[in-house]
Structure 1
Amino acid sequence: MKTPDPQRPPADSGILRTALRRNLGAMAKGTALMGLYQAGETAFPIALGLIVEHAMQDRSLTALGLSIGALAVIITTVSLSWRFGMRVLQKANTTEAHRWRVRVAACGLQPVARDVDLKSGEVLTIATEDADQTADIIEVVPLLISSLVAVLVAAVALGLADIRLGLLVIVGTVAILSILAVLSKRIGASTREQQARVARAGAKVADLITGLRPLHGFGGNHAAFRSYRTVSSDAKRQAITVAKVNGAYAGAALALNAVLAAAVTLTAGWLAFDGRITVGELVMAVGLAQFIIEPLKLFSEMPKYVMMARASADRMALVLTAPPVTTPGPERPAAGGDLEVDCVRYGTLNRVKFTVSAGEFVAITAYQPRAAAELASILAVGVPPETYEGEVRVGGRAIAELSIEAVREHLLVNPYDAEIFAGTLRTNIDPSGTSGLVPEAVEASMLTDVVALHRDGLDYAVRDRGANLSGGQRQRLSLARALATDSDVLVLRDPTTAVDAVTEQLIARNVAALRRGRTTVVMTSSPALLDAADRVLVLDEGVVTAEDTHRNLLATDEEYRVAVTR
């Protein structure tokens, strides 16, 4: 699924309707309170007109006191209704934004990836900014209704003084909204494109930060910066376009509202001069003409926020409604089962066939690194089973027949570049806090020196992406995490490339001992790990060309000896 076309209509798939439906109670309460606020605001100039009309004519202290009391009641009502109305609406807004953030994050973190052409940085933007803007609809609708209440109350009050004043307000409001509705469509299209470009810029900078060290290593940081600057400049230009459209919209709204207020004021003045309305009614009309500018401004801004919410909901739908890359089956493999790769053809793999018996420790050395990467991706279910020929079976059942949760429970593929997360050594090794093998995993991965080096031990704080650890420490931490899962079938890909030869020898011996009786596959060219394995499979040109122990292969296969000795 591609990045949305800014010209096509929104396809929010009911996201806005869902948000409105599950917040009906809070919105009804907020609408009532904000309606009361707007009614109170409208009542203030009406009350002033009545005071001028009656209290000042009677010149009675009692009437004046009652008038002041009435104004105090109106002011108190306005203050409290605004306070509690906005509290209700903002609580519902933030709660709804939280729900959508969690839902988008859950989709992004599902074991089965979704068929959506978005990078992780774009999904992050959708899970934050777009979720927040979608939830704004919770506030927009009540404010829209309450603003309408204010305009209607003002129109009725002015109509009671003179029908022409009331009609002027109603006709003017309809005309203003009709003009602004046309501009709001342009805002929606521009906003969708801006959100897409900002998301792409976010994805680009996330990718660059991830690869910052290798970029510095080969001097590619300047080219990477220029690439990001180009993407960011596109986002900037679109943001300027959106700002121009928003500025034109806001300027038009203010101008039209001011014209209507001036028209009401001048009409009221003319009617008073002609003796058709009283001085009190003139005061009321002038006050209402000034007052309705604010609700009219709020009322006229609502279409813009509705279009922005629709644009954000449209982008969230890209993630939430995207189909899964593959549809897993419902079965579960037998515990402690074996691993079979049966005539798999994919990429450089050419009908690869081998079996790893339950409890066996097998090493695979691939002469072409791409073949190892493709095999690891297939075993990790990163490649849908329907996209390659042949079958992969775990515990006697094809992966396509198994639920993805069952695959993850029984088969763990630990990549060579596994992420390190901000937290502690302990939370990186055992994120769920349920493993009983943390000490053994630390010892087997030779992470003991890192634990002993710091006073906090396993509670030593790890920065984002392991920035305060060396490359070898990060690799050993990743290996410890894989070993701590105690998975029935564990596949490790190049787990010791960043450690020295002595440490590598110890890790190989420890992993073989810790995983004894558990099915283990290591994709590596490390002599230490190859020697620790029960047998070695040689993968060359996409097929298994040799199979024996490491030492027998060294003695009988010249190509193997050249490839793995160092």
Structure 2
Amino acid sequence: MTTPDTAGARGPGPEAAPETGSGILRTAVRRNSGAMLWGTVLMGLYQAGETAFPIALGLIVEHTMRDRSLPALALSIAALAVLITVVSLSWRFGMRILQKANTTEAHHWRVRVAACGLQPVARDTDLKSGEVLTIATEDADQTADIVEVVPMLISSLLSVLIAAVALSMASLQLGALVIAGTVAILSVLSVMSKRIGSSTREQQARVARAGAKVADLITGLRPLHGFGGNHAAFGSYRRVSTEARRQAITVARVNGTYAGAALGLNAVLAASVTLTAGWLAYQGRISIGELVMAVGLAQFIMEPLKLFSDMPKYVMMARASAERMALVLSAPPVAEPGTERPEPGGSLEVDRVRYGSLQGVKFHIPAGEFTAIAAYQPRAAAELAAVLAVNVPPAAYEGAVRLGGRELVDLSVEAVRAQLLVNPSDAEIFGGTLRSNIDPAGTSRMVAEAVEASMLTDVVALHREGLEYEVRDRGSNLSGGQRQRLSLARALAADAGVLVLHDPTTAVDAVTEQLVARNLAALRRGRTTVVLTSSPALLDAADRVLVLDDGVVTAEGTHRQLLAGDEAYRRAVTR
């Protein structure tokens, strides 16, 4: 089911996440009970009015043939006009209430899922970011459909019951036929709807995996082209996409079978009612007016029956989507953050950390020092950056990391984020402007200094809009060096107490790299700064260099001292 976009959505609030798909659906129904009640009343009035129309026609025919009175005919026509007006207005306002509630509820769940995906402490799920995106969009919309489905289900059931009662007043045989036929149709379709639910869940999972794969492809497209791996990557995506296409065809077949069965069964019931009414009229057991009413109801009843028979399908789709949302909303955090705050000063200590290729790495960086770490193995630098960024759960590595004298595991997320910033080598560039990329929150007072220190001034000067120059998604209209300097400017503008930079200048030329190194040392003077790099310019600008080899710190000193006394270091960093 689709609904128009609307405003007035609520925020996520502090409520606890439901643990199951059924719990999510119950929460949605409970939160929108008022709108669903009014929607049910108005849609019930609409369905009752629609059902009353053929009944009124039958009564008009009956009385007109008996009384042959023009005033009575005029009054009947006026009554039909009132009935049509009630039907029109009740539909308009009932659907307005339900669709607004539907759209608002979908927005609520989109915000909830997005908030979980953006939390600084990751959740323990096996889903990729592309899958979470699908859950936050398509699944949130389909889950919110329950708000609209339930009132439509009740109102269409009311319509069928009114038709059955009206036909029973003419002939118990007709009323019993409608009730028995409706029960039989729903029994058949409820079995088929379960197949739709299972097929839809599988389709949503495969589409989400395909979305995640293409997101990964876009992110790594340039490196893939660099070493010729793009064809293999495209082949991998083709396989995932083909699986999603095949499952989509399966779902379409199941839906088509369901729709065809529903339409066929409804048509059989309508035809049975019509033929039975004709036979009863032929035998003189019902009047002509009752025959007109029965034929009219037999034709009309197909619409509410179709609507009624479609609802189980939407319920199963909503439940399947809700269960996928529960995978995100109810997943436990990878790590439970503490509540303490670091002591002032900004020191950073890594104490015998073992993780991946790190084999008990140990060092201490006092507050205010500019330290460079020359990692001979790029993997070790990446893993150290991940540990410092708290992207690795504390339980996944041995040893401790201390910020301001306190272990990271004991600190609150807010305290860590306020004191420590780790800027990765592959930092994302967002769609927006240069300014919004440098200062996303709009609160930094160091934008100008950060632009100058990162040597982004030429990019700003190149465009008439300056810092308001529009940056495309992922920085596609910037060169690799420009994207890297923009990322560095963002890190510097944050003015963190402890700043860790991972390979901040690998995509810039040697002259620019020298200027960036000099500017970085000047701007961060008195603030704790760590740079994971093999750049001679940055190593030379640092107060101290630590050599990380085979997962441990093997040497330390200034860049020039190490060049003079360590042959392995000289071979590794000179170029």
Give the equivalent residue in structure 2 for 1:378: 387
Match of 2:259 in 1: 250
CA shift for structure 1 position 263: 1.2
Select 1:449's aligned residue among 458, 464, 469: 458
Partner of 1:79: 88
Q: Once the two structures are superposed, what CA deviation does each residue of 1:430-470 show, in whole Å capped at 9, x if it has no partner? A: 00000010000000000011111111100000000101111
Superposed displacement of residue 11, structure 1: 4.1
> Is 1:50–2:59 an aligned residue pair?
yes
Match of 1:41 among 42, 50, 69: 50
The question of 1:64 aligning with 2:73 is answered yes
SS at match of 1:363: strand
Alpha-carbon deviation of 1:555? 1.1
State yes or no: 1:192 paired with 2:234. Answer: no
CA–CA separation in structure 2 for the residues paired with 1:129 and 1:335: 46
Supply the distance in 1 between the matched residues of 2:381 and 2:281 (Cα, whole angstroms).
90
| Matched residue, 2:301 | 292
In the aligned structure 2, how far is the partner of 1:452 from the partner of 1:31?
61
In the alignment, the residues of structure 1 paired with residue 482 and residue 224 of structure 2 have an alpha-carbon distance, to the nearest angstrom, of: 20
1:350 is displaced (CA, Å) by 1.0
Q: Are the aligned partners of 1:55 and 1:67 in contact in 2 as well (CA < 8 Å)?
A: no
User: Per the alignment, do residues 13 and 160 of structure 1 end up closer, same or farther by CA in structure 2, a change over 3 Å counting?
Assistant: closer
Indicate the residue corresponding to 1:551 in structure 2: 560
Q: CA deviation at 1:337?
A: 2.2
1:160 matched to 2:169: yes
Whole-Å separation in 1 of the counterparts to 2:506 and 2:243: 40
Q: Bigger CA drift: 51-60 or 380-389?
A: 51-60
Q: CA deviation at 1:347?
A: 1.0
Tell me the residue number matched to 2:3: none
Asked if 1:486 corresponds to 2:501, the answer is: no
Indicate whether 1:533 and 2:542 are aligned: yes
Which residues of structure 1 form unaligned runs of 5+? 1-9
CA contact (8 A) 1:39 1:153 kept: yes
Is this contact kept in 1: 2:22–2:319, CA < 8 A?
no
Amino acid aligned to 2:543: D
AA aligned to 1:77 is V
Say whether residues 1:316 and 2:316 are aligned partners: no
Report the counterpart of residue 398 of structure 1 in structure 2: 407
Give the whole-Å Cα distance in 2 for the aligned partners of 1:327 and 1:516: 34
DSSP-derived class of the 2:507 partner: coil
Per-residue deviation at 1:226?
1.8
Name the structure 2 match of 1:4. none
Tell me how far 1:243 sits from its aligned partner: 1.0
Tell me the amino acid that sits aligned with residue 79 of structure 1: S
Counterpart position of 2:14: none
- The residue type paired with residue 276 of structure 2 is T
What TM-score, normalized by structure 2, do the two folds share? 0.96
In the TM superposition, residue 515 of structure 1 has moved relative to its aligned partner by 0.6
Provide the secondary structure at the position in 1 that maps to 2:21. Answer: coil
C-alpha deviation, 1:249, in angstroms: 0.9
* Structure 1 partner of 2:363: 354
Q: Which residue of 1 aligns with 2:311?
A: 302
Q: Deviations over 1:32-89 (max 9, x none)?
A: 1110110000000000000001033222111011011011011111111111111111
Are the equivalent residues in 1 in contact too, given 2:196–2:255 (CA < 8 A)?
Answer: yes
C-alpha contact 1:122 1:200 (8 A) present in aligned 2: yes
C-alpha distance in 2 between matches for 1:221 and 1:355: 42
How far has the Cα of 1:269 moved from its partner? 1.2
- Give the corresponding residue for 1:277: 286
Check if 1:411 corresponds to 2:420: yes
1:12 maps to amino acid: G
Matched letter for residue 354 of structure 2: R
Instruction: Spell out, residue by residue over 1:454-494, the C-alpha distance to the aligned partner (whole angstroms, 9 max, x if none).
Output: 11100000000101111100000000000000001000011
Cα distance in 2, alignment partners of residues 525 and 210 from structure 1: 24
> After the TM superposition, which of the residue ranges 191-200 and 54-63 deviates more from structure 2?
54-63
Identity of paired residues, percent? 81
Q: In the alignment, which residue of structure 2 is the partner of 1:180?
A: 189
SS in structure 1 at match of 2:506: coil
Assess if the C-alpha contact under 8 Å between 1:11 and 1:317 holds in 2: yes
Q: Which residue of 1 aligns with 2:338?
A: 329
Is the Cα contact below 8 Å between 1:349 and 1:542 reproduced in 2? Answer: yes
For 1:290-313, what per-residue CA distance to the aligned partner results, in whole angstroms no more than 9, with x for missing partners?
111110010011000000000000
The amino acid of 1:270's aligned partner reads W
Q: What is the CA distance between 1:335 and its match in structure 2?
A: 3.1
The alpha-carbon deviation at position 264 of structure 1 amounts to 1.0
Cα distance per residue 1:297-354 (max 9 Å; x no partner): 1001100000000000011111111111111111111233200101111111111111
1:365-392 CA distances to partner (integer Å, 9 max, x unpaired)? 0011111111000000010111111100
Contact persistence 2:135–2:324 (CA under 8 A): yes
Matching residue of 1:96: 105
274, 297, 303: which one aligns with 1:265 = 274
State the shift of 1:405 in Å: 1.9
Equivalent residues of 1:336, 1:518 under 8 A apart: no
One-letter amino acid matched to 1:482: A
* Deviation sequence 1:381-436 (CA, Å, 0-9, x none): 01011111110000111000011221111110000110100000000000000001
Alpha-carbon deviations, 1:255-289, whole Å to 9, x = none? 11111111111111111111111110110011001
2:468 match: 459
**Does 2:429 correspond to 1:430?**
no
For the pair 1:563 / 2:572, whether they are aligned, the reply is yes
2:211 equivalent among 186, 202, 214: 202
Instruction: Indicate if the aligned counterparts of 1:261 and 1:293 stay in contact, CA closer than 8 A.
Output: yes
Structure 1 residue 227, shift from structure 2 partner: 1.5
Give the root-mean-square deviation of aligned CA atoms.
Answer: 1.0
2:138 aligned partner:
129
Structure 2 counterpart of 1:414, one-letter code: N
Q: Report the TM-score, using the length of structure 1 for normalisation.
A: 0.97
Structure 1 residues 74-127: Cα deviation after superposition (integer angstroms, max 9, x where no partner) = 111111111111111111111110011111000000001111111111111111
Shift, 1:223, TM fit: 2.2
SS, match of residue 554 in structure 2: strand
Report the more deviating stretch, 271-280 or 515-524.
271-280
Provide the C-alpha distance between the structure 1 equivalents of 2:36 and 2:208, rounded to a whole number of angstroms.
31
Matched residue type, 1:234? E
Tell whether 2:122 aligns with 1:113. yes
Match of 1:28 in 2: 37
Q: Which consecutive residues of structure 2, in runs of 5 or more, have no partner in the other structure?
A: 1-18
1:13 CA drift (Å)? 5.3
Aligned with 1:14: secondary structure?
Answer: helix
Residues paired across the two proteins, number: 557
In structure 1, what is the Cα distance between the partners aligned to 2:361 and 2:425?
22
Q: Aligned AA for 1:162?
A: S
In the alignment, the residues of structure 2 paired with residue 147 and residue 201 of structure 1 have an alpha-carbon distance, to the nearest angstrom, of 38
